[in-house]
Structure 1
Amino acid sequence: MLVRTLQEISGTEREVHAENGNWISRRLVLDEDKAGFSFHETLIKAGTQTHIWYKHHIEAVYCVAGDGEIEDLKTGQIHPIRDGTLYLLNDHDEHLLRGGSADMRLICAFTPPIIGREMHDEDGAYSPHPHQADYDKARRA
């Protein structure tokens, strides 16, 4: 059994800050925990915009505080986000995530799991997992 608190990971390698200051990701469960997914609390700063395109990951996101919106860059659709909203990036959806009038507190799960301190590359993606082919094969099955 694993028990971990936000307090104990704050200020450690598991707390990752965006270089541009748009977000903070607190990575509660990582690949090394061997759960098959990673689990994070992410704070999106009010008034910011972040381009994201998880080419190698599927992400489920549940908002528990604050507000903002997500724009699907393929369709142009914009969806409001607030407490109680879930969105699933199940098709490697390229999007813009915008913080609204108050910081958004999001609870996120990734598969394949995040290894550690990944940051978005120039395309808005994280690097592939070392066993990416296995995860892709399982998803297609």
Structure 2
Amino acid sequence: MIVKQLEEIRGSSHDIDAPTWNSRRLLLKKDGMGFSMHDTIIKAGTETLIWYRNHVEAVYCIEGEGEIEVVGGETHQICPGMLYALDGHEKHLLRARSQLRMVCVFNPPLTGAEVHDQDGVYPLMNENGEAVR
């Protein structure tokens, strides 16, 4: 059994703080669950370009308001209780009107070291935190 507390993650190497978001990575590839799980804060008043070319992601909003716009497509409002799943590797803009708190699940699982590149992509990484080509 795996047991973790958010307070143990805060301030650790698994607490990734970026300009528009903060991802507290609860379950990672090394945990062997086949997915990773994150408690993520999207900072109020921000817009983030994201494209999970190498991953699928499911996101469940537990706090705040914002929107997700698929580049070249539709826009959906985000509020507590809303789930969206990026099952088609959609490139999207994530906008936070207020601070958003999201539970995010990735497959394949993240190792914990990933950050978005200039295209909004997380690279595929091996157990040593090295990009897989």
TM-score, L = length of structure 1 = 0.87
Cα distance in 2, alignment partners of residues 72 and 22 from structure 1: 18
Deviations 1:41-74 (A, max 9, x none): 1000111000000000000000000010000003
Q: Please, what is the CA RMSD of the aligned residues?
A: 1.1
Deviations 1:10-66 (A, max 9, x none): 000010011xx2100000000010110000010001110000000000000000000
Instruction: Judging by fraction of residues, say which structure has more helix.
Output: 1
Deviations 1:76-131 (A, max 9, x none): x111000000000000000000011x200000000000011210001100002449
Is 1:113–1:129's contact at 8 Å kept on the other side of the alignment? no
TM-score, L = length of structure 2 = 0.92
Cα distance in 2, alignment partners of residues 38 and 16 from structure 1: 14
Residue 114 of structure 2 corresponds to 118
| Structure 1: runs of 5 or more not aligned | 132-141
- Tell me whether 1:128 sits opposite 2:120 in the alignment: no
Aligned residue pairs, count: 127
Which segments of structure 1 move beyond 6 Å, counting only runs of 4 or more? none
- Tell me whether 1:31 sits opposite 2:29 in the alignment: yes
| Structure 2: runs of 5 or more not aligned | 128-133
Cα distance in 1, alignment partners of residues 72 and 106 from structure 2: 21
Q: Percent identity?
A: 49
